[in-house]
Every structure is written in structure tokens, then in C-alpha cells.
Homo-oligomer: A and B are copies of this chain.
Amino acid sequence: MQKTLQRPLYGIIPPLVTPLLDNDTLDIEGLERLIEHTISGGVHGIFILGTTGEFASISYKLRRELTERTCKLVKGRVPLLVGITDSAFTESLDLAKHAANCGADAVVLAPPYYFAAGQPELLEYLQRIMMQMPLPLFLYNMPTHTKMTFAPKTVKAAAEIPGIIGMKDSSSDLAYFKQVQFALRDRDDFTFMVGPEEFMAEFVLTGGHGGVNGGANMFPKLYVELYQAARNRDFDKINTLQQKVMQISTTIYNVGNFGSSYLKGLKCALSVMGLCSDFMAEPFRRFNEPERKKIEAALNNLELY
């Protein structure tokens, strides 16, 4: 039986990091701590196997194990969204079926990311995959990684396909996402979530539903409170809390000169905080001691915990 998700879905849904002991082994205790930490912090859902969850770097076996374990640990306390992005149609579908069997609430899908398709092809792909999709689905726009964008008219057409219930945009291009929202202005059941935490508050202030923000792995309360402040139009609070978010963005995500500095910094911070291992799946590496020191200092300066 398919569960009923609130439509639209509101709030803060952390894109959970995948705690790892080595390239093929989950840090199970870390996973449990992380889930309890975020849920007790008030998050409105959990999203596993996104970009922050290193979905593309870990084996299918591990993706399935993570899905199972997370379902069991979350126990329905908040909606669980599972990433099923893959370059192969069949693998995405199999991941979705597995997620449904485990009891997940929805899946999240970015375009096939090796050989970029055109917009008509992308729409047909969505139509076909939805014919067998066992769970509601969020589109995931991530052009830096997939080399393509869901055009606003593609999203508009996709939103007509039964089962497609929302979109997460990680393009950082708010003009684009406002165009998508405007194209779907008559669809008040369609969920719009924004990836970049730097402007989650602005997005929520004018009608966005929430944020899939990496920082909520570390400080779920901060992001939940910022979201609530935006819902309540409490500008003093927004200002205070957003300063913290910007501090995180410009320190913890900004150590070293890596394309993956965001992810390295986030995992390192979670390790410093005692939440989970900072091991990163191939081809990435955890921070060494000098960078870890910088993360420690950045965490201390935050005065958040």
C-alpha cells in the first residue's frame, strides 16, 4: 500500500550523508546517531542517496542496505525520500521498487547523467519510468552534475504525469526556479524545495515549501528554526539565523580548493561533532589533519553546540 504524503511537503529535509567505515561498509552506528540527531532536531523528512549522500559512488548493494536500515531506523516518524538517480532506467526503477518494499515514502530522480538527453527525450523518459513507479516522485534538478536542466515547460508537462509530486532544485539559479514555480502557479499541491541553504529563507518567504539543505545534517535545529522564522516572517530571527548559515557556508564548506569542499567539510564536521565517520567513498578522500583543524575552529566559532 502506497502511503499518503502531505502535498505539498513542507519544511527541512536534510539530504543525509552516508556514514561509511570504508568504501563498502556502512557506519551503522553513525547512521543511527545521525538519524536520531536530525529527527530530534525537528526535521520534516529525510532524504537519503542524494548528491550529499554520495549515491553515485557507492555500490547498489550498499544503497539497498542503506535504504533498508534507514527505513527501520526512521520508523515512519518523518517521511523518508530515497534517491534513485541512475544513468540506467532499469537500475533506477529497481531502486525505487526496493525503496517501496522497504517502506519509503517517495523517491527522488535527477536526469540520467552520463549522456545528456534533450528536453523531449527527458519528458518521454519520465513518462515511461512513471508507468512502473511504485512511489511518488520528486524531480531533482542538478545541472552541474547532470549537464542538463529540467526546462520549465518540461517540469510543467512532467507535473501532469501521475505520481510526480514535486521538485528539488539545486541549480542555485533562483530566477530559474521562480520561473518553474510560476509555470506551475495553479498547482498548489506541487512541492518546491530548494537545495542551497544560503537562500532557503528567501525562497520560503515568497512561497517556497522548504529546503533540502546539507547543513541540517549538522545543525537540524538551526535550519528548522530558520525555516520557521521564514514561515512566520520573523525578520529579526531570519537575520540572526541566516548569519549562522552563511558562516557555515563560507567556512565549513570552503576549506581547501576542491570541487568537493562542501562534502568534505560537511563529513569532517559531522565526525568532529562525534556523529559519524568522515570516510568518503571513492574517488574522494576525507580531510587530513590540517584541514580538520580548520573545521574544528570553524565549528567552535559558530557557537552553536
Contacts and interface: CB of A to CB of B under 8 A. Distances in A.
A23 B283 contact: no
A90 B183 contact: no
Contacts of A259: 115-118
Given A125-B283, A258-B118, A282-B112, A179 B246 contact: yes
B282 A128 contact: yes
A87 interface: yes
Given A121-B284, A179-B246, A235-B233, A57 B112 contact: yes
Given A173-B172, A206-B202, A57 B179 contact: no
A274 interface: no
A77 interface: no
Contacts of A258: 118, 121
Interface residues of A, number: 72
Contacts of A183: 250
A181 B263 CA distance: 23
Q: How many copies does the complex hold?
A: 4
Contacts of A124: 283, 285
Nearest to A85: B114
Closest 9 A/B residue pairs (Cβ): A56-B114, A125-B283, A89-B282, A56-B87, A202-B202, A182-B246, A175-B198, A59-B90, A175-B196
Contacts of A88: 56-60, 281-282
Given A114-B113, A206-B242, A283 B121 contact: yes
20 contacts: A24-B90, A56-B87, A57-B88, A87-B87, A89-B282, A112-B283, A115-B260, A115-B284, A121-B283, A128-B282, A129-B282, A152-B250, A172-B173, A173-B173, A174-B199, A175-B196, A182-B243, A202-B206, A207-B239, A233-B235
Interface in A147-185: 147, 152, 172-176, 178-179, 182-183, 185
Nearest to A284: B121
